[in-house]
Structure 1
Protein backbone atom coordinates (compact mmCIF):
# COMPACT_ATOMS: atom_id res chain seq x y z
CA UNK A 1 0.00 0.00 0.00
CA UNK A 2 1.30 3.46 -0.85
CA UNK A 3 2.04 5.59 2.22
CA UNK A 4 0.93 2.91 4.66
CA UNK A 5 1.29 4.65 8.03
CA UNK A 6 3.00 1.70 9.67
CA UNK A 7 2.68 -1.65 7.95
CA UNK A 8 1.63 -4.28 10.47
CA UNK A 9 0.98 -6.76 7.65
CA UNK A 10 4.59 -6.33 6.52
CA UNK A 11 5.77 -7.00 10.08
CA UNK A 12 3.56 -10.10 10.23
CA UNK A 13 5.08 -11.41 6.97
CA UNK A 14 8.54 -10.90 8.41
CA UNK A 15 7.65 -12.55 11.73
CA UNK A 16 6.40 -15.61 9.86
CA UNK A 17 9.65 -15.92 7.91
CA UNK A 18 8.47 -14.45 4.63
CA UNK A 19 10.68 -11.97 2.83
CA UNK A 20 8.55 -8.88 2.24
CA UNK A 21 8.23 -6.84 -0.89
CA UNK A 22 6.67 -3.60 0.35
CA UNK A 23 5.97 -0.22 -1.15
CA UNK A 24 8.90 2.17 -0.97
CA UNK A 25 7.11 4.74 1.18
CA UNK A 26 6.01 5.62 4.69
CA UNK A 27 6.25 2.99 7.47
CA UNK A 28 7.83 0.13 5.52
CA UNK A 29 10.51 2.46 4.13
CA UNK A 30 11.12 4.44 7.32
CA UNK A 31 10.82 1.81 10.05
CA UNK A 32 10.26 -1.76 8.94
CA UNK A 33 12.16 -3.05 5.89
CA UNK A 34 15.55 -1.92 7.15
CA UNK A 35 18.74 -3.92 7.57
CA UNK A 36 19.00 -5.95 10.77
CA UNK A 37 22.53 -6.53 12.04
CA UNK A 38 23.81 -5.62 8.56
CA UNK A 39 21.55 -8.06 6.71
CA UNK A 40 18.83 -7.02 4.30
CA UNK A 41 15.34 -7.89 5.58
CA UNK A 42 13.30 -7.52 2.41
CA UNK A 43 12.72 -5.35 -0.61
CA UNK A 44 11.11 -2.00 -1.28
CA UNK A 45 9.44 -1.35 -4.62
CA UNK A 46 7.57 1.43 -6.32
CA UNK A 47 6.83 0.40 -9.89
CA UNK A 48 5.42 -2.80 -11.34
CA UNK A 49 8.92 -3.57 -12.64
CA UNK A 50 10.42 -3.04 -9.16
CA UNK A 51 7.94 -5.53 -7.69
CA UNK A 52 8.59 -8.06 -10.45
CA UNK A 53 12.37 -7.72 -10.05
CA UNK A 54 12.18 -8.16 -6.27
CA UNK A 55 9.96 -11.23 -6.52
CA UNK A 56 12.23 -12.76 -9.16
CA UNK A 57 15.29 -12.06 -6.99
CA UNK A 58 13.67 -13.81 -4.00
CA UNK A 59 12.66 -16.80 -6.12
CA UNK A 60 16.12 -17.23 -7.63
CA UNK A 61 18.38 -16.41 -4.70
CA UNK A 62 20.40 -19.30 -3.26
CA UNK A 63 18.62 -21.00 -0.37
CA UNK A 64 21.25 -20.06 2.28
CA UNK A 65 20.95 -16.38 1.28
CA UNK A 66 17.14 -16.54 1.32
CA UNK A 67 17.13 -18.21 4.75
CA UNK A 68 19.58 -15.64 6.12
CA UNK A 69 17.37 -12.80 4.88
CA UNK A 70 14.26 -14.44 6.33
CA UNK A 71 16.00 -14.87 9.69
CA UNK A 72 17.04 -11.20 9.67
CA UNK A 73 13.45 -10.24 8.85
CA UNK A 74 12.22 -12.28 11.83
CA UNK A 75 14.71 -10.54 14.13
CA UNK A 76 13.64 -7.15 12.77
CA UNK A 77 9.97 -8.01 13.39
CA UNK A 78 10.73 -8.61 17.07
CA UNK A 79 11.22 -4.84 17.42
CA UNK A 80 7.46 -4.51 16.96
CA UNK A 81 6.32 -7.32 19.26
CA UNK A 82 3.92 -6.89 22.17
CA UNK A 83 6.67 -7.96 24.55
CA UNK A 84 9.06 -5.32 23.20
CA UNK A 85 6.33 -2.67 23.42
CA UNK A 86 5.58 -3.63 27.01
CA UNK A 87 9.25 -3.57 28.04
CA UNK A 88 9.92 -0.24 26.32
CA UNK A 89 6.73 1.33 27.69
CA UNK A 90 7.57 0.29 31.25
CA UNK A 91 11.12 1.59 30.88
CA UNK A 92 9.80 4.92 29.60
CA UNK A 93 7.28 5.48 32.38
CA UNK A 94 9.25 3.99 35.27
CA UNK A 95 11.14 7.25 35.96
CA UNK A 96 7.85 9.17 36.04
CA UNK A 97 6.04 6.71 38.29
CA UNK A 98 8.85 6.33 40.78
CA UNK A 99 10.07 9.91 40.79
CA UNK A 100 10.23 11.34 44.29
CA UNK A 101 10.20 15.04 45.03
CA UNK A 102 13.03 16.35 47.12
Structure 2
Protein backbone atom coordinates (compact mmCIF):
# COMPACT_ATOMS: atom_id res chain seq x y z
CA UNK A 1 0.00 0.00 0.00
CA UNK A 2 1.33 3.45 -0.79
CA UNK A 3 2.69 5.21 2.33
CA UNK A 4 0.20 8.10 2.31
CA UNK A 5 -2.80 5.81 1.87
CA UNK A 6 -1.38 3.47 4.50
CA UNK A 7 -1.22 6.33 7.02
CA UNK A 8 -4.85 7.27 6.37
CA UNK A 9 -6.13 3.71 6.60
CA UNK A 10 -3.96 3.14 9.68
CA UNK A 11 -5.71 6.02 11.42
CA UNK A 12 -9.16 4.67 10.59
CA UNK A 13 -11.26 2.71 13.06
CA UNK A 14 -13.03 0.82 10.29
CA UNK A 15 -13.12 0.36 6.54
CA UNK A 16 -16.20 -0.45 4.50
CA UNK A 17 -16.18 -2.49 1.31
CA UNK A 18 -19.46 -2.99 -0.51
CA UNK A 19 -18.61 -4.75 -3.77
CA UNK A 20 -20.81 -7.79 -4.33
CA UNK A 21 -19.12 -11.04 -5.45
CA UNK A 22 -15.62 -9.61 -5.63
CA UNK A 23 -13.32 -12.51 -6.46
CA UNK A 24 -10.86 -11.58 -3.71
CA UNK A 25 -10.93 -8.20 -1.95
CA UNK A 26 -7.45 -6.76 -1.55
CA UNK A 27 -8.95 -3.56 -0.11
CA UNK A 28 -10.40 -5.60 2.75
CA UNK A 29 -6.98 -7.15 3.39
CA UNK A 30 -5.40 -3.68 3.36
CA UNK A 31 -7.88 -2.45 6.01
CA UNK A 32 -7.10 -5.46 8.14
CA UNK A 33 -3.33 -5.10 7.74
CA UNK A 34 -3.57 -1.45 8.78
CA UNK A 35 -5.60 -2.29 11.89
CA UNK A 36 -8.95 -0.97 10.71
CA UNK A 37 -11.96 -3.20 11.36
CA UNK A 38 -13.37 -4.29 8.02
CA UNK A 39 -17.01 -4.36 7.07
CA UNK A 40 -17.23 -6.28 3.80
CA UNK A 41 -19.97 -7.65 1.62
CA UNK A 42 -21.03 -11.14 2.68
CA UNK A 43 -20.09 -12.81 -0.60
CA UNK A 44 -17.23 -14.28 -2.65
CA UNK A 45 -13.64 -13.62 -1.52
CA UNK A 46 -14.28 -11.65 1.67
CA UNK A 47 -16.75 -14.29 2.86
CA UNK A 48 -14.80 -17.35 1.72
CA UNK A 49 -11.18 -16.35 2.38
CA UNK A 50 -10.66 -13.09 4.21
CA UNK A 51 -13.05 -12.06 6.99
CA UNK A 52 -12.82 -15.33 8.87
CA UNK A 53 -12.23 -16.21 12.50
CA UNK A 54 -8.52 -16.23 13.41
CA UNK A 55 -7.60 -18.29 16.48
CA UNK A 56 -11.14 -18.02 17.84
CA UNK A 57 -11.40 -14.25 17.33
CA UNK A 58 -13.52 -12.36 14.79
CA UNK A 59 -11.51 -10.37 12.27
CA UNK A 60 -14.25 -8.09 10.97
CA UNK A 61 -17.87 -7.98 9.84
CA UNK A 62 -19.78 -9.27 6.84
CA UNK A 63 -22.98 -7.60 5.71
CA UNK A 64 -25.39 -7.63 2.77
CA UNK A 65 -28.15 -5.13 3.51
CA UNK A 66 -28.05 -1.48 4.48
CA UNK A 67 -29.34 -2.50 7.89
CA UNK A 68 -26.54 -5.06 8.36
CA UNK A 69 -23.89 -2.49 7.38
CA UNK A 70 -25.43 0.04 9.79
CA UNK A 71 -25.54 -2.54 12.59
CA UNK A 72 -21.85 -3.37 12.03
CA UNK A 73 -20.91 0.32 12.10
CA UNK A 74 -22.81 0.81 15.35
CA UNK A 75 -21.24 -2.26 16.90
CA UNK A 76 -17.75 -1.00 16.05
CA UNK A 77 -18.47 2.51 17.35
CA UNK A 78 -19.88 1.12 20.62
CA UNK A 79 -17.12 -1.47 21.04
CA UNK A 80 -14.76 -1.08 23.98
CA UNK A 81 -11.34 -0.01 22.79
CA UNK A 82 -9.71 -3.14 24.21
CA UNK A 83 -12.18 -5.33 22.30
CA UNK A 84 -11.64 -3.35 19.10
CA UNK A 85 -7.87 -3.58 19.42
CA UNK A 86 -8.10 -7.33 19.99
CA UNK A 87 -10.19 -7.69 16.83
CA UNK A 88 -7.78 -5.46 14.91
CA UNK A 89 -4.81 -7.58 16.02
CA UNK A 90 -6.57 -10.77 14.88
CA UNK A 91 -7.34 -9.06 11.57
CA UNK A 92 -3.70 -8.05 11.13
CA UNK A 93 -2.63 -11.62 11.79
CA UNK A 94 -5.18 -12.93 9.27
CA UNK A 95 -3.96 -10.40 6.69
CA UNK A 96 -0.42 -11.81 6.83
CA UNK A 97 -1.78 -14.88 5.02
CA UNK A 98 -2.05 -12.66 1.95
CA UNK A 99 1.35 -10.95 2.15
CA UNK A 100 3.93 -11.01 -0.64
CA UNK A 101 6.25 -13.01 1.62
CA UNK A 102 3.58 -15.65 2.28
CA UNK A 103 2.75 -15.82 -1.44
CA UNK A 104 6.43 -16.33 -2.29
CA UNK A 105 6.81 -19.09 0.31
CA UNK A 106 3.63 -20.85 -0.80
CA UNK A 107 4.60 -20.55 -4.46
CA UNK A 108 8.03 -22.08 -3.86
CA UNK A 109 6.46 -24.90 -1.87
CA UNK A 110 3.99 -25.57 -4.67
CA UNK A 111 6.56 -25.67 -7.48
CA UNK A 112 9.37 -27.42 -5.59
CA UNK A 113 8.06 -30.94 -6.44
CA UNK A 114 8.01 -30.06 -10.15
CA UNK A 115 11.66 -29.03 -10.15
CA UNK A 116 12.72 -31.83 -7.81
CA UNK A 117 11.22 -34.47 -10.10
CA UNK A 118 12.69 -32.79 -13.18
CA UNK A 119 16.21 -32.94 -11.67
CA UNK A 120 16.03 -36.62 -10.77
CA UNK A 121 17.98 -38.92 -13.07
CA UNK A 122 15.77 -40.69 -15.58
CA UNK A 123 15.94 -44.49 -15.53
Shorter-chain TM band:
over 0.9
TM-score by length of 2: 0.81
Partner of 1:58: 76
Task: Tell me the distance in 2 between the aligned counterparts of 1:28 and 1:62.
Answer: 25
Report the CA distance between 1:96 and its aligned residue.
Answer: 1.0
**Relative contact order (C-alpha < 8 Å, sep 6+): which is higher?**
1
SS at 2:40 equivalent: strand
Higher strand share: 2
Moved over 3 A (4+): none
Are positions 1:39 and 2:57 aligned together? yes
Task: Tell me the distance in 1 between the aligned counterparts of 2:116 and 2:41.
Answer: 43
Are positions 1:8 and 2:26 aligned together? yes
Report the CA distance between 1:18 and its aligned residue.
Answer: 0.4
Report the CA distance between 1:84 and its aligned residue.
Answer: 0.1
SS at 1:40 equivalent: coil
Aligned residues between the structures: 102
SS at 2:35 equivalent: coil
Taking only aligned residues, the RMSD between alpha carbons, in angstroms, comes to 0.8
Are positions 1:92 and 2:104 aligned together? no
SS at 2:37 equivalent: coil
Structure 2 regions of 5+ residues with no counterpart? 1-18
Structure 1 regions of 5+ residues with no counterpart? none
Q: Whose radius of gyration is greater, 1 or 2?
A: 2
Partner of 2:47: 29
